[in-house]
Amino acid sequence: EAQVTQNPRYLITVTGKKLTVTCSQNMNHEYMSWYRQDPGLGLRQIYYSMNVEVTDKGDVPEGYKVSRKEKRNFPLILESPSPNQTSLYFCASSLGLAGGHYEQYFGPGTRLTVT
Amino acid sequence: GESVGLHLPTLSVQEGDNSIINCAYSNSASDYFIWYKQESGKGPQFIIDIRSNMDKRQGQRVTVLLNKTVKHLSLQIAATQPGDSAVYFCAETLAGGADGLTFGKGTHLIIQP
């Protein structure tokens, strides 16, 4: 089944404790992206990657890191989480931009709470 | 990118009626628009898309209309069913898509029995 998977789905952590949220897609998509979703603010892009070893900042990149060493994986890293990073996080992927394939397919979400 | 907004945070309709969800965008350079549906506890799901060189596109029970003159996008759902209850987001991107998608804040569609 074609899908985007994220782990963990739920995470409660403490301020300053490094964490990684994994994202994997099995559709051989070139483009991958991370969003956070907050009440009243909708979905905001954190980082995106157009291909392996190519990453760029989105609208709200502060406090986050990403890497794209393999095509299928795009982990989101919080080196020192803070309470304002409590949010619902979504990973998404799309076939690629060159062919005009802009529609993105989303994972199930990771609900992160930082205390 | 510039924001994409929706007119109403909540829309309540009777089952069987048609629903119209509206979205206003501010960037006239936007080239591609998508509607997503997000059910409770799930990620957004692609519904339908439209490019800026079109003004109407139809899918199964859904129609997207684009009015570039007033920078307005709408999603029409025919014969609304209980399974249509969700939050609907419009999203836009510039030509080339490199900046990713910019999402509106969403409209919660509530289906009354």
pLDDT at position A100: 65
- Check CB contact under 8 Å for A33 and B100: yes
Is residue A13 within 8 A of residue A115, CB to CB? The reply is yes
Segment B30-54 shows an average pLDDT of 92
pLDDT at position B86: 96
Classify residue B1 by burial, with Cβ atoms within 10 Å: 0-12, 13-18, 19+.
middle
Under the banding of pLDDT at 50, 70 and 90, the label for residue B99 is low
Q: Which residues in chain A come in under a pLDDT of 70?
A: 96-101
User: How far A14 CA lies from chain B's nearest CA (Å)?
Assistant: 24
Higher pLDDT pick, B27 / A75? A75
Segment B47-68 shows an average pLDDT of 94
pLDDT at position B2: 37
User: How far A41 CA lies from chain B's nearest CA (Å)?
Assistant: 6
Classify residue A12 by burial, with Cβ atoms within 10 Å: 0-12, 13-18, 19+.
exposed
Higher pLDDT pick, A96 / B90? B90
Segment B35-48 shows an average pLDDT of 93
Chain B residue with minimal CA distance to A59? Answer: B1
- Check CB contact under 8 Å for A45 and B105: no
- Check CB contact under 8 Å for A41 and B105: yes
